[in-house]
Every structure is written in C-alpha cells, then in structure tokens.
Structure 1
C-alpha cells in the first residue's frame, strides 16, 4: 500500500473518517480531499473563482458520464440480442435518481454528505442529495484511481451486490405517465414548466420543474429535454409518494 494511504489510514488526523470511508468503498482513498469534495453540496460550498464553488457538482457531472459508460457496456454484453431501445430503458432504470438515492442510502453515504438544511427545505431536494453524492463519489474514484479501477469498483462493489438488474428489467418506471395518472385520479393539476438557465450555464442544458396543484414537487436537469422531464417526474413521484399510494390502493 502506498505511503499516502498508510498515512491516511493510521496517522492522519482524519483517520477515523478514512476508516469509515474504507469500510464503505473497500479501499483507502489516494486523495482524501477529492472524496470530501464529493460529499460537499453547493449549499455549504465556498466561492472560489468567477462564481464557481468548491462543491461536488463537477465531480457529479463526471461521475454521471463514467457510471453511464460502465452500465452501458455491462448491458451490451449481458443482453447480446436486445435492441438499443431496450438497453437505453434498462440503463435509465439503473442510473435513475430513485435508484441512486436508494444505493447511496444503503451504502451509508448519507452520513458523509455536507449540506445546509436551512437552504434545502423540500424533502425531494434533500433526497436528491443522495444520488448527486453517489455520482460525485464515482467521479472522485475515477480521478483518484482511473477508469479501469472505477469500472471494477462499480461492478463488484456496487452493481453485483446491490442492483438486481433482472428485477429492474420487468419493473415499470414510466414516472411521467404514472404521475399524470395519479394527478388525474386525485383531481390535481400537473404542469411541466421549462425554466430558463442561469447566464453562466450551458444553453443546451434543459431544466424542468414539475408543479402539482401549484407546488414545486420535482426538478429535472439534462441535456435532453425528455430526459429532464423524466427526472423531474421521478422526483415528483418520490416527493408525493405516488408508488406507495398505489401499492396501498391495491
């Protein structure tokens, strides 16, 4: 084991933190600051230059791309005779915000996340912290150890023990349709509102709010308009407990 990792594990002032993180990840970080950054939400981040903050958003962006690549390759090999539509839908289920939130909580990432509770008042926004942190950690592992290590980490430490791909294959997760049906059943108006991006954000990034009876219940952001709507609907379903309600109704 390199000296830097031995230092972090046994001699660093942060050794308790490192040991706890090692129990979750299965390895000792090579650059501890990366992982601390991965758990830092923008609500507690400081401005560093030109409005940019030392939050986990950049690592989240990177981790999202790496995770999508690893899952896409896995599904490509696992289902050699299924078409692109099937593979895309199944990948969406695995990397969905709801699934990543669940994985993040199961792994114990919620104990590491830094955020300002006063600035995050909606429960759906609080839950999205988990999935965001999960992707940021994947980004941190990639920067720290490289793609090959990150791929092995995701496959053996995360997906194999915690993701039932075949169960997800037969699980319906059309969040937008379910949300609209739920709102119709309970007589509530639902709106998908497209929000203009901030001046410093990419014009290609779509931001969508879901408003149910005038209340913001979900937010989705993606470089694809339909994907942004699906993410927003997914958050809204979680916030409104749409699937829990349907299970009880059955």
Structure 2
C-alpha cells in the first residue's frame, strides 16, 4: 500500500485551525496541541518517526471513559423510569464503534484526520478520533465544557434518540439467521493484538471461505459484532 493511500493532512494555518474547530466545537480551543494529537493516527507516528509526533491512542483511552460517563448521565436523565438494562443498551448503541464512525463523518472530523492507514479497511479509525477529541476537550476545557459539547453539539444536533431506541445492535445474531436462511457458512478469524493502551482484537468475517470484511474491537465479542455490522451496512442488508 502506498504511504499516502487514504491520507488526510490537517495543514491549515493556526488561525484557520482555531476557526474551523470553533465551528465544530462551539468554543475556541486553548491548547491546539491537544487537538492536533487527537487527529494524529498511529500510522503517521510509526512511519514518520518524528519525535514531536504523538498518536491519539492515549486521548482515545481517556475520551472513551469520559464519553461513556456523559452518555450514561444523558440517558439516565432522559428516561427516569427505565431500568438499568434499557439504559445500558442505549449507551452501548450510541458509543458503538460503527455508530461513532458515521457520526464523526457527519460532523466532518474525517477531514481533520492525519493518517496513512487505508480508511476504507480500518473501520474504527474515525470513531477512535472522535473519542480522542472528547479526551482533548476534557483536558483543555474540563468536564463541564466537554459535557456541553457532547450533549448540545453532538447528541441534540446529530442523534435521533427515538430512532436509536429501535436500532438493532445484535448483528451477530442477525448474521446467524441470515446465513441459515441463505444457506451460507460463516466463520470469524480473530487476532489478539496489542498497542500502547493494551490488548485489542481484529476480526475477519469469512462467508463461504471468502473474506468479507475486517473490524476491530476492545474485546473479541465486540470485534465480531463490529465485523457483522460493517458487513450488513456495506451490503445494504
């Protein structure tokens, strides 16, 4: 693969960076270095070997925790009479990697990302950047501003919550039923990998011994679910 396949550079002058980010965030960033790190994929760091380049993996780790807390609180307040199981499912639907990827593209974060990875194959890359952005906002402005961004600029503007209630998320069960109905055989080939944040899993979905799609997740189960989700979306099933 060419070094520049799928690459996107965020090379605007500093004032333009602030102006563009302000439109998305709803406030002016104070520490631009945090946001540049949030949009720096590990592929760039690995290939350039620049000492001042730091990938977004640590910010992604932080943002994942912060985003989960904000989303949990949002649904807790919105549905005061629903039980824990419903609230957990709603949170999982919104922070699902496939959903976050689509959300990130809708917001326009894909145009900021600095990467040399093939974005057509690395399905989690935009969702990871979104979590890293949440981590950057938290460090730059604190929890209150971060919470306002997620709820007011993301959930209220981009998320159809009522549609989310009815959205299917158990794509693995759907795949089992679909394969049985269409007389096809499937299997998952899962690799356990490791990066600076610990272990993660990469899943290849094979149907009739042919590779259909590849996805990643923080657990084996999540990687399989993500692979199934991507397959159904790509094939409009």
Shorter-chain TM-score tier: 0.7 to 0.9
* Separation of aligned partners in 2, 1:107 and 1:183: 35
1:230 paired residue number: 222
2:96 paired residue number: 96
1:244 paired residue number: 236
Asked if the contact 1:103/1:162 (under 8 Å) is kept, the reply is yes
2:4 paired residue number: none
Measured after TM superposition, the shift of residue 157 of structure 1 is: 0.9
* Separation of aligned partners in 2, 1:78 and 1:68: 15
Distance 1:237 1:196, change over 3 A: closer
2:173 maps to 1:177: yes
Measured after TM superposition, the shift of residue 200 of structure 1 is: 6.7
1:6 paired residue number: none
- Structure 1: runs of 5 or more not aligned: 1-11, 246-250
So what's the TM-score if we normalise by structure 2? 0.82
1:141 paired residue number: 137
How many residue pairs align between the two structures? 221
- Structure 2: runs of 5 or more not aligned: 1-11
Map 1:64-79 onto structure 2 (within 5 A).
Answer: 64-79=64-79
* Separation of aligned partners in 2, 1:23 and 1:173: 32
Per-residue CA deviation, residues 15-38 of structure 1 (Å, 9 max, x unaligned), is 112211111111111110110111
Distance 1:219 1:242, change over 3 A: closer
2:3 paired residue number: none
2:106 maps to 1:106: yes
Considering fraction of residues, name the structure with more helix: 1
1:123 paired residue number: 120
- Which one scores higher on RCO, CA 8 angstroms, separation ≥ 6? 2
2:212 maps to 1:195: no
2:205 paired residue number: 211
* Separation of aligned partners in 2, 1:76 and 1:158: 17
Asked if the contact 1:175/1:230 (under 8 Å) is kept, the reply is no
Per-residue CA deviation, residues 88-138 of structure 1 (Å, 9 max, x unaligned), is 11111111112211211111111101111xx42x7241x422111111100
So what's the TM-score if we normalise by structure 1? 0.78
Measured after TM superposition, the shift of residue 161 of structure 1 is: 1.3
Measured after TM superposition, the shift of residue 78 of structure 1 is: 1.5
Distance 1:158 1:200, change over 3 A: closer
Asked if the contact 1:176/1:229 (under 8 Å) is kept, the reply is no
1:3 paired residue number: none
Measured after TM superposition, the shift of residue 235 of structure 1 is: 3.6
Measured after TM superposition, the shift of residue 145 of structure 1 is: 0.7
